[in-house]
Amino acid sequence: MDINGKVAVVTGSSAGVGRATAELLASLGAKVVVNYAHSEQGAIEAVETITAAGGVAHAVKADVSDDAQCRALIESAVATYGGLHILVNNAGATHFIAHEDLEAVTEQVFDDIMSVNVQGTFYCTRAAAPHMREAGEGAVVNVASVAGIGGGGSSIPYAASKAAIIVMTKSLGRVLGPEIRVNCIAPGFIDTRWLKGGMGDDRFQSAKAMLTERAPLRGVATPETCADAILGFIHSNVFVTGQTTVVDGGMSL
- CATH of residue 183: 3.40.50.720
**156: in domain:** yes
* Predicted local distance difference test score (pLDDT) of residue 189: 85
**133: in domain:** yes
* Predicted local distance difference test score (pLDDT) of residue 200: 86
* Predicted local distance difference test score (pLDDT) of residue 193: 79
**202: in domain:** no
* Predicted local distance difference test score (pLDDT) of residue 179: 97
Residue span of the structural domain in which 46 resides = 7-190+222-247
* Predicted local distance difference test score (pLDDT) of residue 207: 82
CA distance 68 to 87: 17
* Predicted local distance difference test score (pLDDT) of residue 96: 95
Is 158 considered catalytic here? yes
CA distance 160 to 113: 9
118-158: pLDDT as tens digits: 999 999 999 999 999 999 999 999 999 999 999 999 999 99
Tell whether the torsion through CA atoms of 92, 97, 101 and 105 is positive or negative: negative
Q: What is the mean pLDDT of the chain?
A: 96
**195: in domain:** no
Collect the ranges in the chain with pLDDT lower than 50: none
Global pTM? Answer: 0.95
Task: State the total domains in the chain.
Answer: 1
* Predicted local distance difference test score (pLDDT) of residue 113: 98
* Predicted local distance difference test score (pLDDT) of residue 191: 86
